[in-house]
Structure 1
Amino acid sequence: MGSKDEGAASSGGGGFFSSFAAGMRSWGTAVHKSVNGLLGYEGLEVINPDGGTEDAEAEALKGRWKQEDRDSYWKMMHKYIGSDVTSLVTLPVIIFEPMTMLQKMAELMEYCELLDKADECEDPYMRMVYASTWAVSVYFAYQRTWKPFNPILGETYEMVNHQGITFIAEQVSHHPPMGAAHCENAHFTYDITSKLKTKFLGNSVEVYPVGRTRVTLKKSGVMLELVPPLTKVNNLIFGRTWVDSPGEMVMTNLTTGDKVVLYFQPCGWFGAGRYEVDGYVYSAAEEPKIMITGKWNKSMSCQPCDQEGDPLPGTELKEIWRVAPTPPNDKYQYTHFAHKINSFDTAPKKLLASDSRLRPDRYALEKGDMSKSGSEKSRLEEQQRAEKRTREAKGEQFTPRWFNMTDDISPTPWGDLEVYEYNGKYTEHRAVIDSSSVADDTDVTSIEFNPWQYGSSSSQ
């Protein structure tokens, strides 16, 4: 087990073993020493998760980049060290995966049966175990080292045919990049406003999940709010790219005051601590009730505990979740669910023309045509700039179709967030289509990608 105090420390009470947790945090930081001047590149940091820092030079020569590409890209990027590069630079498709950020948002639904169990659970603390484990489950998918495409303003992603859910996401802002999503089935509703914020560190980038995630369980009516840890992508240019998400994940029951605090251990020398997650379910009175432990790349378990956080006598660890088998030797390290997300089998009838699946750059990359993917990506980005000029000339603002901007400003550990809320129109739109008796024989792959609100081809 890891530290026992994270929840209490986070909730302002000082915690049970706060000095131990602080020691763990400083230990995790200490092992990630910079390797400056490596191979003549000032400010370069190379971290081998399977070793120490002494083998950084050998590690730097590995990875997916050719030497000449690596050198030229470093020359272009090193001037941005310390900057938010979310929309600052145009990136080559060699580092992309054939999926957009909107689709990546939907990956959180792979193990949504855990939310179904949370809704059906009568024990309020076990309810929090299931819900927080659902939040952990996506990190196995998030360890992929490829970058998803940034959505075009007005782009959408729809998904059905999975655990009875209906999922809709929309890109609601371009600068800053923001997406909103709503998902629902018989057991829960899920709503998120997500704004990416990054800090480029040279050979790595920190990704801050500036967002508000809320889940409402329908049977009990409780509302849960999630604050995830940041993610660091290491060895972007030099070395083998890998992902870590050190820090605290907090899930709060806004209805009762109960809370889960999980500590994601940072990766230490020779991989020590990597993937490990430990924490507790706390009552509203800040008493530990259930300890949760496991690895986000394998499984999570729980066990009732006493007020000191120690396992109750006569109880055993109970496995709550385990990673599903994955396709062997997959080029992009996709799960079966990730492939399902890209498939038209999960698309509803009369798919919106703004759907991510239809993007020509994404589709070309999926088919292995990197040259076409790059040219289509450039074309879409120029079309987006042209539409912005049209909108500004008309003196008009972009208006999302499925979400409304609210007056709420939500504080997050990484800055304030303008909150968008689902407006219900997609539910109405889908109900009309699903109730129609007219057969839809359209070949969805023939639909032209069209997220634009202006332009002669705008026909959504």
Structure 2
Amino acid sequence: MGSKDQDLAASSGGGGGFFSSIAAGVRSWGTAVHKSVNGMVGYEGLEVINPDGGTEDAEAEAMRGRWKQEDRDSYWKMMSKYIGSDVTSLVTLPVIIFEPMTMLQKMAELMEYCELLDKADECEDPYMRLVYASIWAVSVYPAYQRMWKPFNPILGETYEMVNHQGITFIAEQVSHHPPMGVAHCENDHFTYDITSKLKTKFLGNSVEVYPVGRTRVTLKKSGVVLELIPPLTKVNNLIFGRTWVDSPGEMIMNNLTTGDKVVLYFQPCGWFGAGRYEVDGYVYSAAEEPKMMVTGKWNKFMSYQPCDQEGEPLPGTELKEIWRVAPTPPSDKYQYTYFAHKINSFDTAPKKLLPSDSRLRPDRYALEKGDMSKSGAHKSRLEEQQRAEKRTRDTKGEQFTPKWFNMTDEISPTPWGELEVYEYNGKYAKHRAAVDSSNVAEETDVSSIEFNPWQYSDSPSQ
């Protein structure tokens, strides 16, 4: 069999997916191999988690990874005092752990396989709509397994994207403490709206990331509104050992119009990697009856099959693959996909790019070009400018006001806390229509535009 056939066979009974989920649950007695480093003075309580379940002892595993020994030591001493804290914006982190992308751009990565939403909109079957839409939500997880941290956006920073599947995407950083980003995306088939506020819990050598946010998709043909509740993500071995990412738990997508829903379970990584990447679940009717089985591996492919009221495959049906992860560039430094490179590229930038756009950040751009020293210097300068803006705002008694989104009176409950909801105000569409219909020429060197998200024109630049 070819690799595709082998993967499908594994999903239907040979090594992954729904039919092996019970067996995986039995063999995954706990999460991956947890090892505490004992007998190392100054490292009491340090936990190293090996996803492969190797036989090497904890101290040997701890010495592996991207860090030099002296860097491990210094950052452990600096960070260990924050154990148990939310470190989302608590400390200044070195650029060595960053990738050349901001959180606003990371929000746009969910659009890589947005043709799945197009298919959901075109689909007449209400349960197949949820199959396509939920697998679209799963499709971003290969991007989440990268071992690098995106830059926190500057307050007022934006990100625009066009020239992909007919979409227009705009995101804006609307709060610095706590960090909050908002995005709106639209094409002929759907609208996508998200308010995102990350919350973290630092555990020493790992961090749990809680997606406090509200994501809604409206399919234009049927008019149905879908709401997504993703699982948490845990980044393991931040300082000691080989960094890796897991997202165990439930993903729920609710059809707010009909009451139908999807519940997908992301299996935790077990001993010797058992269960890692596996996703299994069902599309349910409003009456809580299973209608479709959804199964696969979030880093490779996802499939579906109609099922009966007991959740068993319907006779005469077969498991069908409807999404497979796209090929990636070989030996890419940041494990970027081709689409991730498009996100950073000016090829996906619209005419007359906003000067607040993430692509124009000098620290991000310097890191992309491989100049870590310059990136760090620019990052420090931008952070100081942001602090100076806050001092000016406080002195004037003013509040920051986003340009493209309005804060609503709605407070949305989430599994990890309440969320202040922002809504798209429509001004960006008018701005973009005016620019696109004008005689403004394309910038000859768009990268030469100075990054400017600042509220005050006299903000200090030194």
- Going from structure 1 to structure 2, the CA distance change for 1:443 and 1:38 (only over 3 Å counts) comes to farther
- Going from structure 1 to structure 2, the CA distance change for 1:408 and 1:131 (only over 3 Å counts) comes to same
5+ residue gaps, structure 1, are 3-18
Specify which of 110, 113, 122 is matched with residue 120 of structure 1. Answer: 122
* In 1: Cα distance, 2:445 partner to 2:75 partner: 40
* In 1: Cα distance, 2:322 partner to 2:414 partner: 29
Q: Secondary structure at the match of 1:135?
A: helix
What is the aligned length? 443
* In 2: Cα distance, 1:75 partner to 1:403 partner: 41
The residue type equivalent to 1:109 in the other structure is M
Q: Secondary structure at the match of 1:380?
A: helix
2:153 alignment counterpart = 151
Following superposition, the deviation at residue 51 of structure 1 comes to: 1.2
Greater Cα shift, 49-58 or 220-229: 49-58
* In 2: Cα distance, 1:380 partner to 1:441 partner: 24
Following superposition, the deviation at residue 330 of structure 1 comes to: 0.2
For 1:274-313, list aligned pairs within 5 A. Answer: 274-313=276-315
Following superposition, the deviation at residue 57 of structure 1 comes to: 2.0
Confirm or deny that 1:67 pairs with 2:94. no
Is the Cα–Cα contact under 8 Å of residues 34 and 48 in structure 2 kept in the other structure?
no
Q: Secondary structure at the match of 2:146?
A: coil
Following superposition, the deviation at residue 38 of structure 1 comes to: 5.8
Is the Cα–Cα contact under 8 Å of residues 152 and 171 in structure 1 kept in the other structure?
yes
Is the Cα–Cα contact under 8 Å of residues 35 and 53 in structure 1 kept in the other structure?
no
CA RMSD of aligned residues (A): 2.0
Following superposition, the deviation at residue 121 of structure 1 comes to: 0.2
- Going from structure 1 to structure 2, the CA distance change for 1:244 and 1:25 (only over 3 Å counts) comes to farther
For 1:32-431, list aligned pairs within 5 A. Answer: 32-37=33-38, 39-40=40-41, 41-51=43-53, 55-431=57-433
Greater Cα shift, 432-441 or 224-233: 432-441
Greater Cα shift, 25-34 or 344-353: 25-34
Q: Secondary structure at the match of 1:327?
A: coil
Greater Cα shift, 397-406 or 45-54: 45-54
2:8 alignment counterpart = none
Following superposition, the deviation at residue 70 of structure 1 comes to: 0.3
The residue type equivalent to 1:256 in the other structure is T
The residue type equivalent to 2:82 in the other structure is Y
The residue type equivalent to 2:36 in the other structure is V
Following superposition, the deviation at residue 358 of structure 1 comes to: 0.2
1:198-238 Cα offsets, whole Å, 9 max, x none, are: 00000000000000000000000000000000000000000
Is the Cα–Cα contact under 8 Å of residues 182 and 194 in structure 2 kept in the other structure?
yes
The residue type equivalent to 2:136 in the other structure is W
Q: Secondary structure at the match of 1:377?
A: helix
Is the Cα–Cα contact under 8 Å of residues 47 and 53 in structure 1 kept in the other structure?
no
* In 2: Cα distance, 1:315 partner to 1:420 partner: 43
1:150-195 Cα offsets, whole Å, 9 max, x none, are: 0000000000000000000000000000000000000000000000
* In 1: Cα distance, 2:221 partner to 2:340 partner: 29
* In 2: Cα distance, 1:349 partner to 1:43 partner: 53
Following superposition, the deviation at residue 441 of structure 1 comes to: 3.6
* In 1: Cα distance, 2:55 partner to 2:404 partner: 48
The residue type equivalent to 2:255 in the other structure is N
Following superposition, the deviation at residue 25 of structure 1 comes to: 9.9
The residue type equivalent to 1:39 in the other structure is M
Q: Secondary structure at the match of 1:338?
A: helix
Q: Secondary structure at the match of 1:362?
A: helix
1:60-93 Cα offsets, whole Å, 9 max, x none, are: 1111110001001000000100000001110000
Following superposition, the deviation at residue 457 of structure 1 comes to: 6.8
Q: Percent identity?
A: 86
Give the TM-score normalised by structure 2: 0.93
- Going from structure 1 to structure 2, the CA distance change for 1:28 and 1:184 (only over 3 Å counts) comes to farther
* In 2: Cα distance, 1:377 partner to 1:209 partner: 25
- Going from structure 1 to structure 2, the CA distance change for 1:117 and 1:43 (only over 3 Å counts) comes to same
* In 2: Cα distance, 1:178 partner to 1:26 partner: 39
* In 1: Cα distance, 2:267 partner to 2:445 partner: 47
Is the Cα–Cα contact under 8 Å of residues 33 and 53 in structure 1 kept in the other structure?
no
Is the Cα–Cα contact under 8 Å of residues 28 and 265 in structure 1 kept in the other structure?
no
5+ residue gaps, structure 2, are 1-10, 13-20
1:363-410 Cα offsets, whole Å, 9 max, x none, are: 000000000000000000000000000000000000000000000000
Q: Secondary structure at the match of 2:390?
A: helix
